[in-house]
Every structure is written in structure tokens, then in C-alpha cells.
């Protein structure tokens, strides 16, 4: 993964700071009630960063009765850029993967938002299938499928099928893969659509070797949400009909080109 400019990460912190200032009501202070209402209008990593950045500045000004003002926001923003971001760019040549791994959670959230903002600026989030596939290869490397109390060494393998899909359904998936209409071992048995399903899978990845694995899963999920539509979790084969108890699993969506792209893996049901 290429180095990330500090300027891009600063822009992500700027957005979080603006969200906090925008939360103010008729008075010049940002209360905890103000920020709760503002967070309800946000989502994903932007919501997470705004929330943790507010708590960060609230902790810095922890005196009884203290309230967050624009001066507090500006001061904390300058401090965060210097202490949470800039000092990790040791050689002043952009932030490397290793340097980012050493950062605090607040800074890593800012990095994630910075990458998403940068993606939005390039082609308005509409990438070619080839570009999306390359992104999935890089982000999915070394990760495995954690759901269903999986007994297989089910590492994620990038999946791609050329198609011209308007939407993803059981029927369009079966036709794209050329699955049998009559063989129950090739039936589209489990078909769960929605980002929430994919998020549930990744959030329940229990065997973390390091906190960085959780970050990798979340970064992968962010990338899929930004670039694929109709994201779906699919298992092929009716329960009990595969002799080796190993069932194909797909975590896929549709690219702007209409192709079916995502990951293929397996689960073992015994």
C-alpha cells in the first residue's frame, strides 16, 4: 500500500472538527447532547472519528464545569495534527503502513477516513472492475472467513465473474456461476443481502492475533461498501448434501461495470 500524505490525514481531522463545531446550538458551546444529535446524522468511520475526537478534546479539558468551545476545538485540532499524526512521519515522506500501525486509535480512524475521502475524489468512487479487484487482493491478503464456527482453513480468495448485472438475486447469481437448477448440492442455499450482514461477520472475527487484524477487516469492509452494491453473503449447497461437508461461501457485490466481484471461501458443516 502506498504512503499516505499527512495533508490527507489532516483533512480527515478537519472534517471531524467541522462536524463538532456544526453540532453547536444557539450558544457558542458544544455540549454532549449536541454531539449525540450530530452523530445521529453521520455514519461509518466519519461517525466513529467525530465521536472519538470529541471525547479526546473533552478529556483534555476535564475540569468540572468545563465546556467545549471553538477555541478548544481549534487548539485540540492543532495538537492532534502535530502529536497524533506528524510525529509518526519519521522521514517526512508520507505515512507508511508500519508508521500507521504505531498510531493511536484516533489517528488510525483519521487515516481510514482520509483514504475514503481520497477515493471519493478520484472518479467519484466509480472504479473499474480491474481496479476494485486489485484493491480486494491487497486488503484481503492473509484474512480468513471467521463465521459459522468455521473448521476450515478458509482464507479469503478474490472472486470475479464478468457479467452485466443490474441487481443481485438468487437467480442472477446462479445464472452467472452456471449452477444447476436441479442439483440440490448446487442450490443457492443461504442468501443474505446487506452491509449489516457483512459487518456482523467481520465484527465476530474472534481469533485476533493483533488489534491490527480488526483494522484490516474494517478497512476491507469500508472499501467494499464504497465500491460494490448489493453486497451479499451466499452459501451454495443444501445442508447435508455435500459428501465432504465443505460448502462454498461467497461475499460478493456488483461493480459499477456490472460484474460480480468479492471473495470466495469455504465453511465446514459437521
Percent of the chain at pLDDT exceeding 90: 44
Task: Specify the DSSP class assigned to residue 85.
Answer: I
The CATH class of 126-268 is alpha beta
Positive/negative CA dihedral, 225, 195, 140, 251? negative
Domain ranges of the chain: 6-121, 126-268
The torsion defined by the Cα of 199, 203, 207 and 208, in degrees rounded to 10, comes to 100
- The whole-chain average pLDDT of the chain stands at 84
At residue 249, φ and ψ (nearest 5 deg) are -125, 140
What was the pLDDT predicted at 103?
A: 94
According to the 3-state scheme, what is the secondary structure of 154-184?
CECEEEEECCCCCCCCHHHHHHHHCCCCCCH
Per-residue pLDDT, averaged over 132-142, amounts to: 91
What was the pLDDT predicted at 252?
A: 95
What was the pLDDT predicted at 142?
A: 83
pLDDT digits (tens, 9 = 90+) for 242-254: 666 788 999 999 9
Of 39, 269, 65, 264, nearest to 155 by C-alpha is: 264
Q: Which residue has the higher pLDDT, 196 or 193?
A: 193
Of 84, 82, 255, nearest to 176 by C-alpha is: 255
Of 67, 81, 62, nearest to 16 by C-alpha is: 81
- How many Cβ atoms sit within 10 Å of the Cβ of residue 102? 12
What was the pLDDT predicted at 246?
A: 82
How far is Cα 258 from Cα 260, in angstroms, rounded to an integer?
A: 7
Contact 110, 16 (CB under 8 A): yes
Could you give the 3-state DSSP secondary structure of residue 80? helix
Amino acid at each position: 500500500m502506498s504512503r499516505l500524505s499527512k495533508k490527507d490525514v489532516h483533512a480527515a481531522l478537519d472534517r471531524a472538527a467541522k462536524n463538532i463545531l456544526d453540532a453547536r446550538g444557539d450558544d457558542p458551546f458544544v455540549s454532549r447532547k449536541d454531539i449525540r444529535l450530530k452523530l445521529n446524522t453521520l455514519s461509518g468511520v466519519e461517525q466513529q472519528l467525530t465521536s472519538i475526537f470529541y471525547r479526546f478534546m473533552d478529556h483534555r479539558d476535564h475540569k468540572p464545569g468545563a465546556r467545549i468551545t471553538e477555541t478548544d476545538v481549534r487548539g485540540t485540532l492543532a495538537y492532534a495534527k502535530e502529536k497524533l499524526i506528524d510525529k509518526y512521519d519519521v522521514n517526512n515522506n508520507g505515512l507508511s503502513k508500519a508508521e500507521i500501525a504505531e498510531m493511536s486509535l484516533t489517528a488510525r480512524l483519521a487515516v481510514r477516513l482520509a483514504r475514503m475521502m481520497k477515493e471519493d475524489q478520484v472518479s467519484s468512487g466509480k472504479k473499474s472492475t480491474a481496479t476494485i479487484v486489485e484493491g480486494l487482493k491487497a486488503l484481503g491478503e492473509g484474512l480468513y472467513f471467521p463465521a459459522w464456527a468455521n473448521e476450515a482453513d478458509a482464507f479469503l480468495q478474490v472472486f470475479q465473474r464478468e457479467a452485466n448485472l443490474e441487481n443481485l438475486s438468487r437467480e442472477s447469481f446462479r445464472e452467472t456461476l452456471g449452477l444447476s437448477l436441479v442439483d440440490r448440492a448446487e442450490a443457492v442455499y443461504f442468501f443474505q443481502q446487506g452491509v449489516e450482514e457483512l459487518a456482523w461477520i467481520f465484527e465476530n472475527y474472534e481469533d485476533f492475533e493483533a488489534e491490527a487484524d480488526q483494522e484490516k477487516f474494517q478497512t476491507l469492509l469500508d472499501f467494499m461498501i464504497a465500491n460494490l452494491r448489493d453486497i451479499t453473503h451466499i452459501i451454495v449447497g443444501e445442508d447435508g448434501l455435500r459428501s465432504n461437508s465443505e460448502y462454498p461461501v461467497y461475499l460478493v457485490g456488483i461493480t459499477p461495470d456490472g460484474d460480480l466481484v468479492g471473495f470466495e471461501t469455504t465453511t465446514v458443516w459437521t
